[in-house]
Structure 1
Amino acid sequence: MYNKQFFSCPYYRNQAAYPFFNAQWRANAQKFAAVSGTVTRIEDFNLGQDGASAGCYKLMSLESKDVGPVNFVISTETYFVDHKVVDVGDEVTGFYDANAPAILIYPPQYPAIVIAKDTEYEKVAVDYFDNQLISSDGNLKLNIAPSTEIILTNDQPFNRYPGNRNLIVVYGPTTKSIPAQTTPYKIIVLC
């Protein structure tokens, strides 16, 4: 009647003893995933029948070489890097919360957090960077220069140290070290 192979105690857990249950740790360790591709369609996306949000949300369809077709829901909170307007035919990268629940449909559909128009000379990373400005996967280290612009999503200056935060990083060349190091052109702090 009962499966005694696996022990579980769903009722009580001392959260202080298990940091992976700590809500603050989870908030800081948000994981971002990215999909790059060509924009094939942009259309209005209606959330309700009341009409109050009509035109405020868009559905952006991408054709990715890696994962096939993907849809992004663009909201008023979606940040477009450098505030660039995206059109059908543009190469873009969309970033979304990898820990958020997703509806099981084909093609997959994600709420976009950041959209970056791909360029030849700039790369964009969206990730949590620790107090030494190393990304959560350990593949990128940021070296801040006096010329590095550090701003908020509303383009206002950010006057604190950007470590231990979720960041949008616009950068160019990197070293071939592990982790790769770069001096970013711009850092946008996601507060």
Structure 2
Amino acid sequence: MKKFSSIYGTVTMIQDYSVSSDEELNGCFKLMSLLREDGSIVNFVISPTTYFLDHVMVSIGDRVTGFYDLNLPVILIYPPQYQALIIAKDNPYQNVKVDYFNGQLVSSDGQLQLNITKYTPLLLPNDQPFTINPANRNLLVVYGPTTMSIPAQTTPYKIIVMC
């Protein structure tokens, strides 16, 4: 099972990244550098399967959150380099959480509970509708205000089911 973690920062560089000598893969991978608020730098490898929330174009200077699988091995180099699974461009009007949500739609860290209505869009990463209960799955949740309870509760703006 994937255990998601995230890193927030400002994009300082985007460049082509070579993963092999296969000519067919040239240009398909990118290396994105983020400057974190503490001044440290983190690199994300962007692959053709990296999901960009709302299919946005990311440029140098944008603030983004990169989500990666905490269980995947990471090469020991500086700056650290992670394989990006999801990139979300910062938006002051929405929050983003990627996590496993259980049968009660509570995140694995116990911090967020989802209250889904019939108007909550449930989508696959390719923007097609997801038509069954999203419980017990990895979800990308886009939401706004939450309650002050523990766990915080919210009615999401939309949910992307990460099959």
Q: TM-score, normalised by structure 1?
A: 0.84
2:142 is aligned to 170
Q: State the structure with more CA Rg.
A: 1
1:52 is aligned to 24
Regions of 4+ moved over 6 Å: none
**Partner letter of residue 36 of structure 1?**
Y
Report the Cα offset of residue 31 of structure 1: 0.9
1:61 aligns with 2:33: yes
Q: Distance in 2 between matches of 1:93 and 1:170?
A: 13
3-state SS, counterpart of residue 77 of structure 2: coil
Structural mapping, 1:100-119, within 5 Å: 100-119=72-91
1:146 is aligned to 118
1:181 aligns with 2:153: yes
Match of 1:85 among 57, 74, 79: 57
Q: Which runs of 5+ in 2 are unaligned?
A: none
Q: Which runs of 5+ in 1 are unaligned?
A: 1-26
Q: Distance in 1 between matches of 2:55 and 2:80?
A: 25
Matched-pair identity in %: 62
Q: Distance in 2 between matches of 1:174 and 1:64?
A: 26
Match of 2:105 among 133, 158, 168: 133
Deviations 1:117-155 (A, max 9, x none): 011010110000001000000000000022210000111
Q: Distance in 2 between matches of 1:133 and 1:66?
A: 33
Tell me the number of residue pairs that the alignment of Structure 1 and Structure 2 aligns. 163
**Partner letter of residue 118 of structure 2?**
P
Which has the larger displacement, 146-155 or 62-71? Answer: 62-71
CA 1:134 to 1:104, structure 2 compared with 1: closer, same or farther past 3 Å? Answer: same
Report the Cα offset of residue 161 of structure 1: 0.3
